[in-house]
Structure 1
Amino acid sequence: MAESVKQFVSFTQYDIPPLKSGDYTITATQTLNQGTPDSFVARKRFAVPGSRFKLNGDDILSVLPAPLANGEFAGVMPMVALKRTSLPWQRTSVKSEETAPWLAILMFMGGDHPTLNTNGTAVDVFPKGVTVTVDNSSLTGQGTMPAGYVSHPDMNPLEYGQTPTDPCSFIDIPADMFSKVCPSAADLPYLAHIRTTDTYDTTDNEETSISCAIVLANRWPRPNAEHPDVNAQAFLVSLENMGDLLPGDDGTPSPNLPGDAIVRLICYRAWKFAANDMAERFKDLCEALNHGQNGPGGLTTLRLPADTPEPADVSTALTNQAAGRLTDADADVLVRNGLCLGYTALDHHLREAGTTVSWYRGPLVPYAITPVAYDVAPCSDALLRYDPQTGLFDATYAQAWQLGQLLALHSPSFSVALYHWKQSLQKGVAAQEEMALIQQKLGDGSLLPSFFARRATRLDQLPPVPSDIADWVARLKLLKGVPFSSLVPDEAMLPVESLRFFHLDMNWIAALVDGAFSIGRAGVDGAQRDVNALAETHSAAQMSARRQRKNQHPHLAARVAAAANAEFEVVTGFLLRSQLVSGWPLLRIKGFADTEGLTDLTPLRFERLSNDVLLCLFEGEVKMITIHEPPAQLHCGVEWDGQQYTTTLRDLTDQADLGQQLDGGTIAVAVRPDGQTLQVADTARLIQSHLKTGFGQNIDPFTSAEFAVEMVQGAVKVEFKVQ
């Protein structure tokens, strides 16, 4: 089921830094009451570094539409979410308007794509023959841009930290096309804003809120029926110092731009998408999860695809196997039953020469497994299980134990801390035994009672579990650091565009932690000491495990505190492999203990394991999850009613209905003659006027924040229920 959902997000007009990027000089003058000289001057130069020829690798959080996406994107204004909130205003595009961003998104359709060069350098945006210098440096270079090209003016000399050989990507656009697609100087201030939202239902984060800068395009794809060439390409470009070359509000070329010129712009990101009738928008992707070749009804639990055998057939096959009359049909039933239980058959290299095939199942299983009492194992082989009827090992828990030991050895901080703690425990036990022997020899304890009484009291308390050990084990219990191949041993268990629910096998976790704890274990006495120490460590790690998420919702704090160090009774979750993860990195997830969504579960871990795989763990049995379109990534756009493009106004004054669409508030937006480029400033004035005259909302000033609220599309929530 999909429906609109309220989510908190705040919109801010801009984040202009106190000093924009560039080189500065501070001049201090001191005047004295004396004869000549009566004044002294001191100067200090400094630089405010900032991106110019390329952005940092993590500056771009996401783009929309997603790269290579196919969907009904008619009316959708492409956007880029940036990690640094001040980035769009760190440089100047229009000298007379400091709120105008220097970054812009240009969108092209069909064969109108500009030429993109990704192997250029800084000198390629300077005219050929011009000497490119660096402020306060002897570095120089020669411009290479051919005659007839125009680019960013007033960038010579380069700023401190820049060089003529800095890598630079750029696009070349004919002047008429540039004027057609580029925002005007009046449009730019409305095409960037800040969004702030909480992170409670997103991936694990150190912060409880996140802010990002949003840059919007001023164009959109047309409806498919009106534009047969559906391929679109978007470019995040620099408009630094380009104010005098920008077109008019209706796309009229600037008189300062020669009509036959080629405009060269620095480009930071380029991506393609297609506006068609395929289902790769947020809602469509959610509803297409788990669709196999035959449509809906695919697997929903984490296991290999196999037809589930009838219980009677499994019982018959087991009976025939025990009697030694197993048929091919019986073998097929047992194999399919094993696959349905989450197992897969893997090559097994034995310790002695030889190989075999063994069953293996990771900790994420398609059914609930009852925890059993666990002691300690001397080695991984002790946890191998052998079926003499089939001649196959079950290496599940043996592999978990071995993996835990390897992970512990791979962590010097944990292994050293564990070794020292075990040594202190051993010394404490030895001292206790010594004290018991002394008390036995002293009889009534009349010799030096004060000294021995104090010593006995001090030795009653053995060293507690160090916090760094408890925290490391807590992370291990949440599968942090466990290789993905151990969680999902076969790719067919988690195909593309799939959502797979699971139960966490606490017996697998116990073997994993025991393997990690086995470092330094020697002899029967060492094993016995480890039994007690391991129990204490599990207890100490439980509280830490529940507090691993720093962005836990405040209303869950009391629940987490009440659970304290109690062992997990049930942990469930899901794996999501989809374009949803890569296209919407701020995806919001909630888990519920009922199918009505009344009782939410405590999230233990939300983490992206790769670009398109998300792992979620909940304490308790999940019966339903909701996947929300993230508010920070809600796209802006317009609607096509068959004759014109429109938008529906939202309430900007009533706190109870803030952001809600207003009945009867649909208005036509101002569009350039090409029919797909928004006259942004004119539309902003139209919206401001209609809010005042039609609804009594006098919004002044009307900034990019208000404009974004009015143009943003509704959020989507999709529910998945566990049957």
Structure 2
Amino acid sequence: MLSKNDRNEEKVLKLQSFARPPLPGGTYVLKTKLFTDAGKDGLKGMPSKFEAKEIKFQITAPRFGISTELIHSVYPLPGSTGDYQNTLPHIVLKRKTFCWERVIDGNKTNFDKPWVCLLVFTEEEVKLEQIKEMTTETFLKEDADVKVPILTLNEDEKIAKTKLKALELDMNLFKRVAPKLDEINFLAHNRQVNTNNKGNNDTNGDKGWYTTVVANRLPIKGITNYAFLVSIEGCTTYMEEPMIANDSRKLRLCLLHQWQFIDMDEKLEDVVKNLNNNVKPLTIELKEGANPTEHIKRCLDFGYAPINHIRRNDEKSVSWYRGPFVPLNAEHHAIKTYKNADQALRFDANTNMFDISYASAWQLGRLLALQDSSFSIALSNWKNAYKRDRPIKIAKDLLLKQNVNQELLSSFINDAESDEVLTDYLIELWNKNTK
């Protein structure tokens, strides 16, 4: 049970407008100059000014792509259908400083402006064919019809020729949908939540801090909407330009992440009624011409699937497996407990195959439980307490018997080198006196 302080702490949500990293990504130059007053002290031949030295170094930060592991969640869910007309799409990232790790326009004073934004378009405005994969070198090649971000590649980026996804938009469409330079500050922020007692704590050491990027446009109803997380580094010129009539130019943007969803005004009643539409049973479809036995047909109808199985002795075989969702009403048997996964194996004599369904569930449940740090600690404490208290309980039970030498027992308890030795001795005594 949570204490009162823990319950209050769970309700706290901290918001922060931005999180500036110690140094944004980019190329830096460290210059040193040394002057002396050697001439004043009469040290002949000692120069009063030394040659200036400089060192260039690079701070790397994501620029042309991000790992999917950096993404915590997106909303609306990818591929989902629902009533989203009053919700701005957004993406949550796991790194606190992500949106401010690059400078949007090369001006070192714009540290508080995010270098990414989330753009929302309909399938009528943007086609997925407009997304192309190319190298950084090709990405930055400008021509009369396609404008590109104003960027300078460092030496490592020139050599690497990194591949990226590029999204080409009509210039006027970008200007109409993209936020203005003075608006982007309001479209990204940090939030800190309480991650205590979470079994799957996927934070990256920022103590519950996440970055949220919000779109500036609501979805359009009754049609597929695309959400694009794009880099706007080097695009400030185009963001501030006024729209030009009949502008045929396109703007090429670096695409970091994308997903799609449909905004539909669905009622719960309609959702429930449509649950069974186009739904097939969770069974394997046999190949044409297959002639299975009645027993195999029955297994497949029950939701079983034959899968490749590598046993612990490296022997390869095929076993039956069925997940927790079945295409029929399952019988509820008495709950059994198992000490290991092998005890949950079942053998099908008709096919000479093992059924590993319950064994897999046992192993999966064990791994998920041990992944939870609070459960692992509680289990370890329970084992230690049992190990400590069991010899004492056995000793008390033995002392109640008349034929046990209490002095000998007490002496052995005091001289025991370990709990294991003591436990073994007490169990031996117990067995002798209970026969």
Within 1, Cα distance between the matches of 2:62 and 2:356?
A: 51
SS in 2 for 1:124: helix
Counterpart code for 2:189: H
Counterpart code for 1:261: R
How far apart are residue 239 of structure 1 and its match? Answer: 0.7
Within 1, Cα distance between the matches of 2:307 and 2:226?
A: 46
Whether 1:92 and 2:89 are equivalent positions in the alignment is: no
Instruction: Label 1:56 to 1:396 Cα distance change in 2 as closer, same or farther (>3 A).
Output: closer
Match of 1:480 in 2: 367
Within 1, Cα distance between the matches of 2:120 and 2:358?
A: 52
Whether contact under 8 Å (1:73, 1:275) holds in the other structure is yes
Instruction: Label 1:44 to 1:368 Cα distance change in 2 as closer, same or farther (>3 A).
Output: farther
How far apart are residue 200 of structure 1 and its match? Answer: 4.3
How many residues align? The count is: 339
Whether 1:240 and 2:63 are equivalent positions in the alignment is: no
Instruction: Label 1:278 to 1:270 Cα distance change in 2 as closer, same or farther (>3 A).
Output: same
Whether 1:26 and 2:30 are equivalent positions in the alignment is: yes
Whether 1:266 and 2:238 are equivalent positions in the alignment is: no
Match of 2:126 in 1: 113
Match of 1:37 in 2: 47
How far apart are residue 181 of structure 1 and its match? Answer: 0.2
Within 2, Cα distance between the matches of 1:122 and 1:39?
A: 44
How far apart are residue 194 of structure 1 and its match? Answer: 1.6
Whether contact under 8 Å (1:123, 1:164) holds in the other structure is no
TM-score, normalised with respect to structure 2: 0.62
Whether contact under 8 Å (1:119, 1:168) holds in the other structure is yes
Whether 1:293 and 2:276 are equivalent positions in the alignment is: yes
Match of 1:310 in 2: none
Q: Any idea what the Cα deviations from partners look like across 1:411-459, whole Å, max 9, x if unmatched?
A: xxxxxxxxxxxxxxxxxxxxxxxxxxxxxxxxxxxxxxxxxxxxxxxxx
Within 2, Cα distance between the matches of 1:348 and 1:266?
A: 42
Structure 2: segments with no counterpart, 5+ residues: 1-9, 40-45, 284-293, 310-317, 326-330, 388-435
Instruction: Label 1:181 to 1:478 Cα distance change in 2 as closer, same or farther (>3 A).
Output: same
Match of 2:116 in 1: 103
How far apart are residue 190 of structure 1 and its match? Answer: 0.9
Match of 1:60 in 2: 71
Whether contact under 8 Å (1:358, 1:392) holds in the other structure is no
Counterpart code for 1:119: E
Match of 2:143 in 1: 146
Within 2, Cα distance between the matches of 1:566 and 1:188?
A: 59
Q: Any idea what the Cα deviations from partners look like across 1:520-562, whole Å, max 9, x if unmatched?
A: xxxxxxxxxxxxxxxxxxxxxxxxx6x6412x39xx9779845
How far apart are residue 210 of structure 1 and its match? Answer: 3.1
Within 1, Cα distance between the matches of 2:213 and 2:357?
A: 52
Match of 1:686 in 2: none
Whether 1:221 and 2:214 are equivalent positions in the alignment is: no
Instruction: Label 1:25 to 1:148 Cα distance change in 2 as closer, same or farther (>3 A).
Output: same
Within 2, Cα distance between the matches of 1:25 and 1:348?
A: 58
Whether contact under 8 Å (2:227, 2:259) holds in the other structure is yes
Superposed, which structure 2 residues align to 1:308-347 within 5 Å? none
Counterpart code for 2:21: P
How far apart are residue 62 of structure 1 and its match? Answer: 2.7
Instruction: Label 1:566 to 1:70 Cα distance change in 2 as closer, same or farther (>3 A).
Output: farther
**Aligned match of 2:167 in 145, 166, 171?**
171
Counterpart code for 1:220: L
How far apart are residue 362 of structure 1 and its match? Answer: 8.2
Match of 2:16 in 1: 12
**Aligned match of 2:335 in 362, 369, 387?**
369
Q: Any idea what the Cα deviations from partners look like across 1:156-210, whole Å, max 9, x if unmatched?
A: 3435345473212212222221111010111111111122223346453376953
SS in 2 for 1:176: helix
How far apart are residue 399 of structure 1 and its match? Answer: 9.4
Q: Any idea what the Cα deviations from partners look like across 1:295-351, whole Å, max 9, x if unmatched?
A: 9xxx9xxx99xxxxxxxxxxxxxxxxxxxxxxxxxx99xx99x999x99597999xx
Within 2, Cα distance between the matches of 1:163 and 1:203?
A: 42
Within 1, Cα distance between the matches of 2:246 and 2:272?
A: 52
How far apart are residue 244 of structure 1 and its match? Answer: 3.0
Within 2, Cα distance between the matches of 1:23 and 1:202?
A: 39
How far apart are residue 46 of structure 1 and its match? Answer: 0.6
**Aligned match of 1:549 in 372, 382, 385?**
372
Q: Any idea what the Cα deviations from partners look like across 1:347-402, whole Å, max 9, x if unmatched?
A: 999xxxxxxx9998889995442448x89x9x999x8587xxxx7879558995xx
Whether contact under 8 Å (2:230, 2:257) holds in the other structure is yes
SS in 2 for 1:58: helix
SS in 2 for 1:198: coil
Within 2, Cα distance between the matches of 1:549 and 1:146?
A: 55
Within 2, Cα distance between the matches of 1:368 and 1:92?
A: 63
Whether contact under 8 Å (2:320, 2:357) holds in the other structure is no
Instruction: Label 1:87 to 1:366 Cα distance change in 2 as closer, same or farther (>3 A).
Output: farther
SS in 1 for 2:193: strand
Counterpart code for 2:89: P
Instruction: Label 1:67 to 1:266 Cα distance change in 2 as closer, same or farther (>3 A).
Output: same
Structure 1: segments with no counterpart, 5+ residues: 1-5, 127-142, 248-252, 305-330, 350-356, 405-474, 482-544, 568-723
Within 1, Cα distance between the matches of 2:234 and 2:307?
A: 63
Match of 2:210 in 1: 212
SS in 1 for 2:208: strand
Match of 1:124 in 2: 138
Identical residues among aligned pairs (%): 22
Counterpart code for 1:267: L
Superposed, which structure 2 residues align to 1:491-640 within 5 Å? 548-550=371-373, 552=374, 561=381
Instruction: Label 1:559 to 1:8 Cα distance change in 2 as closer, same or farther (>3 A).
Output: farther
Instruction: Label 1:562 to 1:44 Cα distance change in 2 as closer, same or farther (>3 A).
Output: same
Within 2, Cα distance between the matches of 1:273 and 1:398?
A: 35
SS in 2 for 1:84: coil
SS in 1 for 2:18: coil
TM-score, normalised with respect to structure 1: 0.39
Whether contact under 8 Å (1:106, 1:182) holds in the other structure is yes
Within 1, Cα distance between the matches of 2:18 and 2:170?
A: 31
Counterpart code for 2:99: P
